[in-house]
Structure 1
Amino acid sequence: MTQYLLSVIQPAGERPAPEAMARIGADVAALHEELRAAGAWVFAGALHGPESATVVRLGGEEGQEVLLTDGPWIEAKEHLGGICVIEAADLDAALEWGRKAARATTLPIEVQPFLG
């Protein structure tokens, strides 16, 4: 089995209304239960907004200093809102889970295999 990353692509701006978020939360919880029942579940989690991020990079003379910068590493209209790591027999199976995730979250889902 190959592991795949399902990335939730979150648009910038306001979150949906509380009623919509409650429905989405229930749909995502149901998807996670389905993943567990199918033996495809590895890990999932939602992320705080990009304003909570800190970028750690090498800089300074000869790239020996570690620099910390507040905020996301790139300004964008979308950001990573959450992830789900799954195990699937092949890309087609992973894409089917991606379809289900898109329906549950109402957001775009990027499906990408891990190396190795």
Structure 2
Amino acid sequence: MHWILLSAGIAIEILATASLKLSDGFTKISFAGLTLICFAAAFYVMSLVVRTMPLGVAYSVWAGGGIAGVTLLGTMAFGQKLDGFAYLGIGLILTGVVVLNALSTSAGS
């Protein structure tokens, strides 16, 4: 169950970060409000996750998933350009998350 919650929290955080970009420095009130609501919801979900998952594992998956998701969203939704090293870095982050989940006993079930 904590993996589902963690995935939902990451998705909410990605939405919050996209809304932050769209808020134009908090000058667009609807996106500013959505940003605050989504970040609050994401942190609440994360608080539920760390009840049953080790903090370091939860945070590393959270951060890795968020970094990869926001970077990919930036390329698809905001037309940001990435070079090969950026894609390599995202691939390494995702590889680390996979290794952590597939091979480490620290991740829990």
Which protein has the bigger helix share? 2
Do these two structures clear the TM 0.5 threshold for a shared fold by scoring above it? no
State the TM bucket, normalised to the shorter chain. Answer: 0.3 to 0.5
TM-score, normalisation: structure 1: 0.34
Structure number with bigger Rg: 1
Q: When the two structures are superposed, what TM-score results if normalisation uses the length of structure 2?
A: 0.36
